[in-house]
Amino acid sequence: MRKLMFTVLGLLMVHSMQAQYFCTKQGTELHYVSYDEAGQSISNGTVTVTKAEENGNAAKATYYMKLVANKAKNNTSYTLYDWSYDGQNTVCKQDLMYGPYVEADLDPEKYDEKAHALFEEKLKFKGDNSFVIKDGAEGGESIPERSYSLISNMLKNEVTISGAAYMGKDSIGTTAGRFECIKISYLKRTKILVKSETERITEWYAKGVGLVKSESHDMKGKPNGKTLLVKIVRKD
- The answer to whether 131 and 102 are in contact (CB under 8 A) is no
Kindly list the domain boundaries of the chain, sorted by start residue.
Answer: 22-233
- Give the pLDDT of residue 26: 97
Examine the pLDDT at 109 and tell me if it is beyond 60.
Answer: yes
**Beta carbons of 210 and 28 less than 8 angstroms apart:** no
Average pLDDT, whole number, for the chain?
Answer: 92
Q: What is the mean pLDDT of residues 200-216?
A: 98
* Pick from 79, 128, 135: nearest CA to 108: 79
CA angle 201/59/134 to nearest 5° reads: 40
Closest by CA to 78, choosing from 55, 94, 56, 102, is: 102
Give the separation between CA 76 and CA 87, rounded to whole angstroms.
36
Can you give the pTM of this predicted structure? 0.90
Strand partners, 130: 93
Q: Which CATH number fits domain 22-233: 3.20.20.150, 2.40.360.20, 3.30.930.10, 2.60.40.350?
A: 2.40.360.20
Write the DSSP assignment of 71-85 as a string of letters.
S-TT-EEEEEEEEEE
How large is the average pLDDT for residues 193-206? 96
pLDDT higher than 80, residue 7: no
- The whole-number pLDDT of residue 153 equals 87
Q: Does the structure show a pLDDT above 70 at 116?
A: yes
Mean local confidence (pLDDT), 141-170: 96
Q: What pLDDT sits at residue 72?
A: 75
Q: What is the pLDDT, as a whole number, of residue 206?
A: 98
How many angstroms separate the CA atoms of 71 and 34, rounded? 13
